Amino acid sequence: MSAAFSPIMRATTAGISRASMVLCIMQTTAIKTTFVALAASMGAALARQGIITREAFACTSWAAAYAYTRASLTREGVKANESCPIRLSAGTRVEMVASDENGDGYVEVSVNGRKWWIDDARVK
């Protein structure tokens, strides 16, 4: 007997049919899926529009954006790399996904369906 079917086996011994148990599991899964979809759509609805005011490199994570900023302050400077692969030009329209609530200086934006971290001073 497989571990995945043990709740069904226990339910049948308690007088609940397998069909009822499978139906219950399917309904629970559908409710969870609906809740996740609803939460995602609410997040998209709450995202506010923004415009890039100055050219900015877009990074894949907060840590990459932080490392990029620190490296840009050195004498050698920094270039685009695998963590910060694209440059967003001034005037690019973005959706602001996460604002700078902690005061860390970065904001998460969505451009063409992909999420990036950029310096919050470059988004209006």
Q: What 3-state class would DSSP assign to 49?
A: strand
Whether residues 28 and 58 fall in one domain: no
Query: How high is the pLDDT of residue 58?
Result: 92
| This prediction's pTM | 0.56
Whether 96 and 42 map to the same domain: the answer is no
- Sequence-ordered alpha helix ranges (H) in 47-87: 62-72
Question: Would the pLDDT of 39 be above 50?
Answer: no
CATH number at residue 96: 2.30.30
pLDDT in tens, 42-79: 455 556 898 999 988 899 999 999 899 888 888 888 88
Q: Which domain holds residue 34?
A: 3-46
Rounded mean pLDDT, 107-121:
90
Q: Percentage of residues in the chain with pLDDT exceeding 70? A: 61
- Does 31 or 52 have the greater pLDDT score? 52
d(C-alpha 26, C-alpha 104), whole Å = 43
